[in-house]
Amino acid sequence: MGMGDFMLFPQMNSSRLLLKLDGIWNFALGSVDFDENCCSEPLNQCEKMYVPASYNDQKADARFRDHFGWVYYQTQFSLPALFDGRLVLRFCAVTHHCRVYLNGVKLMEHSGGFLPFECEIAHDLLRDGNLLSVAVDNRIDTTTLPVGNEYQQAMFGSGLPAFESVRKTEIKPQNYPNFDFFNYSGIHRSVWIYTTPKAYIDDITVTTEIEGADARVTVSAALSAGGSAAVTILDANDCEIARGSTDTPLIIKNATLWQPGAAYLYTAKVVYQSDCYLQKFGVRSVAVSGDKFLINGRPFYFKGFGKHEDSETLGRGINEAQNIRDLSLMKWMGANSFRTSHYPYSEEMLALCDEEGIVVIAETPAVGLNRNSYTKIAATHRQVICDMIARDKNHPSIVMWSLANEPDTEDENAYDYFAPLYTLAHDCDPQDRPVTTVVCNNNYIKDRTATAMDVICINRYYGWYIFGGDLDAAQQAMTAEMEYFRQFKKPLMMTEYGADAISGLHQNPPTMFSEEYQEAYYRCMNSVLDKYDFVIGEHAWNFADFQTVQGTMRADGNKKGIFTRDRRPKLAAHYFRTRWSAIPDFDYKK
């Protein structure tokens, strides 16, 4: 795959057929050694596994939950001989590394668990009863995004009897995520076969410029045999309002803007020979000006959350019903935005945000970068930035790109590492949206990266990890930090702040882990944020409780959710609902 490969979201229309291969597949656990036989022959010993979903939580068996290395998925399908056009096999996300075989022939290999990949299937490869095999490797290390730690041997060799005794037996091989979410793996999003005519539309890019009451729309397309394509612009009622061709700007008279909370989508219908594709888009502008973040020229205030793709049984698998519910809960709370922490989310979710008027900060899977990973990871990081923007560039809901979450920015090489990535993201984006890197540098005075971005994005846990239980100290520390950052005269956003709360645990006076403490924590922090006009938003960490690796810091996962994992509100949900209902989307800060 090249840099920022084209990747239209599959769609069924008058020129294209779309078949989902989702359902119950055959499945077998493998080892760290790849076994090609498990891809060329039907698996002889296998289990049933649902696709799309993580495999980890589908079985009541730790071998699945804690697996390390390869697993094998297989399904069989037959196709009617209906056409002689192109057949494309598309995976929307397989986490983290995979090899795809069809009838024993290797078709694709892909690294990176959160973005799509596809290839054309030759007609002569097909037969009656095709065997599709997908081998998936879940290993993470210092060369992958997200980053895995090397074998944790710190205590080994310490001479302590416990570690000496364990050393003699082999400790079971496992992943050591350098990030705080469960390393769910498997075929996480849909598997599709779609057709196109032989001459086809490979990619569409829509850019818009607001000119007074009108909008100038440029629709450009990558076309398999060159030339240009016909373009029709349809309004939200599917009425034609402009007509022309690719690369010549079209005018929408009296354009309706895409606004947070009041989405409006147009469609560009692109017709190229016998192919056609309907690309939705919105007319809206995004810019940073002084210490404000402007949407459609007005200072926007981000109210919302960091999230995860995480649910019962499905793990990190796409859960569209839950996506609907999550956006509904956000609206119930008066929230207007979220960040796709800590990886690109499904295209279905982004399309839903386009429709629902929810604002999105889109993040790469670059989480857990430490000073040792910079040199090893640079090429992969560049690729994932290009690929994410290529996939997501047309979504009006996305207003900013996040290059990474909490890299080690105290390291002196961090600025030199991130400055070119910042430029790259701007260069990749036809809409040239703002770019940020989300940091959590306790020694923030040493940070040169956060302040070099368009928006300073900070994760901060005073009152939890630092000054846990002491909200007075937390308030002072937070105030000092805001006083420090105000000198940069740039917009600053709290991309994370939070406190764990065990649902149902109540305490008066509030103590850590109680619902009351979580609420008191947010009241205290928000009282500081409200004092600073350059603070352009607050994203609570996290929307909902989520699964993590086991550990002394985590009781059945991370409990910083404002909702439980099954989306029941904690006290803080009601507090934020009251607060956010009173904070307008625009002009909150002077």
Q: Which residues bind ligand GCB (CB under 6 A)?
A: 180, 342, 405-406, 440, 459, 496, 541, 558, 560
Q: Cβ neighbours of residue 262 under 8 Å, at least 6 residues apart?
A: 357
In the complex, the smallest distance separating the C-beta of residue 496 from ligand GCB, rounded to whole angstroms, is 5
Q: What are phi and psi of 439, to 5 degrees?
A: -120, 160
The H-assigned helical ranges of 4-66 are 37-40, 62-65
**Residue 337: CB minimum distance to ligand GCB, A:** 17
Which amino acid belongs to residue 222?
A: A
What's the closest the beta carbon of residue 136 comes to ligand GCB, in angstroms? Answer: 23
Rounded to the nearest 10 degrees, what angle do helices 320-333 and 571-581 cross at?
Answer: 60
3-class DSSP state for residue 29?
Answer: strand
Q: Which residue is nearest to ligand GCB (CB)?
A: 180
Closer to ligand GCB by Cβ: residue 410 or 533: 410
Catalytic status, residue 496: yes
Q: How far apart are CB 464 and ligand GCB at their closest, in Å?
A: 8
For ligand GCB, give the closer residue by CB, 269 or 342. Answer: 342
Of 118, 309, 496, 516, catalytic = 496
CA 336 to CA 359: how far, in whole Å?
Answer: 6
User: Residue 56 contacts by C-beta under 8 Å, 6 or more apart in sequence?
Assistant: 64, 65, 67, 182, 184, 185, 186, 315
Contact 504, 514 (CB under 8 A): no
* 406 part of the active site: yes
255 vs 440, beta carbon nearer ligand GCB:
440
Bridge partners for 398 per DSSP: 360
Determine the number of helices (DSSP H) and then strands (DSSP E) in the chain.
10, 30
- In the bound state with ligand GCB, the residue whose beta carbon lies nearer, of 203 and 496, is 496
CB of 548 to ligand GCB, least distance (A): 7
Instruction: Report, in Å, the least distance between residue 50 CB and ligand GCB.
Output: 27
382 alpha-carbon distance from chain centroid: 16
Residue found by looking up tokens 């995480």 in the block? 310
Q: How far is the CB of 538 from ligand GCB (least distance, A)?
A: 15
How far is 112 from 520, CA to CA, in rounded Å?
39
Of 342 and 570, CB closest to ligand GCB: 342
Catalytic residue of the set 118, 347, 363, 406 = 406
Query: 440 and 180 in contact (C-beta within 8 Å)?
Result: no
Provide the b/e sequence for 426-458 (b: ≥16 CB within 10 Å): eebbebebbbbbbbbbeebeebbbbbbbbbbbb
Question: Measured from the CB atom, is 180 or 347 closer to ligand GCB?
Answer: 180
Q: Which is nearer to ligand GCB, 203 or 538 (CB)?
A: 538
Q: Report the catalytic residues.
A: 406, 496
